[in-house]
Amino acid sequence: MENTEMTDRFVAEPGPARELAWLRERLTPENDGRQHVVTEVVPEGSPAYVRVFHSWWLEEVPGLRRAWREMAEAAGVEYHGELTDEPLGQEVLNPPVGEQWETTGAEADAVTRRGLVEILSDATASGQAVFFSYELAKSLCDEEPIVWRSSLTGLEAVRAHTGEEYGGPEHWWPEDRSWVVACDWDLTSTYVACSEELAELLVRSDRIEALRVAPTARIDGT
């Protein structure tokens, strides 16, 4: 295997279903009821779990971003790890005519992705390859899932090569599986299963907006 440690080069892993088997074995089966929880997207049994919020933005004002904490304050609602857009209310989401706050689904916005990669790079053993998997996105097109192997900084190259129609990778993790990042197509936040130390780095960083959550925290809207 070609060394990809300090580059953005990437290769497709043979037998992607085999590569994903360990992950699928550790995910909580989907509940037939209405509520979906954190461990349906990231592995059970991790020391800590973190929700990374995708920023809010206005199409009319490029570069302007707003945090979920700010949106909650504006709406007068509690800011917490299970917050959805519903309690924010239309007065907050739709300020003056012609403007509407939006947030990204399926993957984090570019600024949040960049911040997350920077934090994970500081906390990941040097020289490790990272795996990026496209699962549901590919299966919807009657194709086998794809798992790319690259460096952590290869995320954007992998996204560009795979194509915008598939969004971002659903899961990414290093060789030692010390953390797992996940975002489902139906979600407006990214979730990370990790160590206590990495969780603290994530929630204290000013490069992303993140909160600790329980493994049983709800991830779907109400």
- pLDDT for 7 equals 58
Which of the four pLDDT bands, split at 50, 70 and 90, describes residue 203?
very high
Domain spans of the chain, in order of start: 11-54+105-212, 56-103
CB distance 187 to 37 below 8 Å: no
Residues 116-160: pLDDT tens digits? 999 999 999 888 999 999 987 666 666 788 999 999 999 999 999
Tell me if 112 sits within 8 A of 190, measured CB to CB.
yes
The structure's pTM equals 0.92
Round to whole Å and give the CA distance between 127 and 198: 18
Q: What pLDDT, in 10s, does the model give residues 54-86? A: 999 988 888 889 999 999 999 999 999 999 999
* Closest alpha carbon to 180 in 14, 44, 55: 44
Average pLDDT over residues 15-33: 86
101-122: per-residue pLDDT in tens? 999 888 999 999 999 999 999 9
How much is the pLDDT for 137? 66
Instruction: Phi first, then psi: give them for residue 48, nearest 5 degrees.
Output: -150, 155
pLDDT at 122: 92
Q: Which of 192, 185, 197, 195 is nearest to 209 (CA)?
A: 192
Neighbouring residues of 1: CB distance < 8 A, sequence distance ≥ 6? 11, 149
Q: Is the pLDDT of residue 218 over 90?
A: yes
pLDDT of residue 134: 92
What is the distance between the alpha carbons of residues 190 and 111, in angstroms, rounded to a whole number? 13
Nearest CA to 124 among 175, 193, 159? 175
Task: Supply the pLDDT for residue 59.
Answer: 83
- Asked whether the beta carbons of 148 and 158 are under 8 A apart, the reply is yes
pLDDT confidence of 3, banded at 50, 70, 90? very low
27-47 mean pLDDT: 89
Q: Could you tell me which of 112, 153, 116, 118 has the C-alpha nearest to residue 132? A: 153
Is 60 exceeded by the pLDDT of residue 4?
no
**Type and span of the H or E element at 56:** strand 56-58
Give the containing element (helix H, strand E) for 190. Answer: strand 189-194
Instruction: With a cut of 70, say whether residue 1 has pLDDT above it.
Output: no
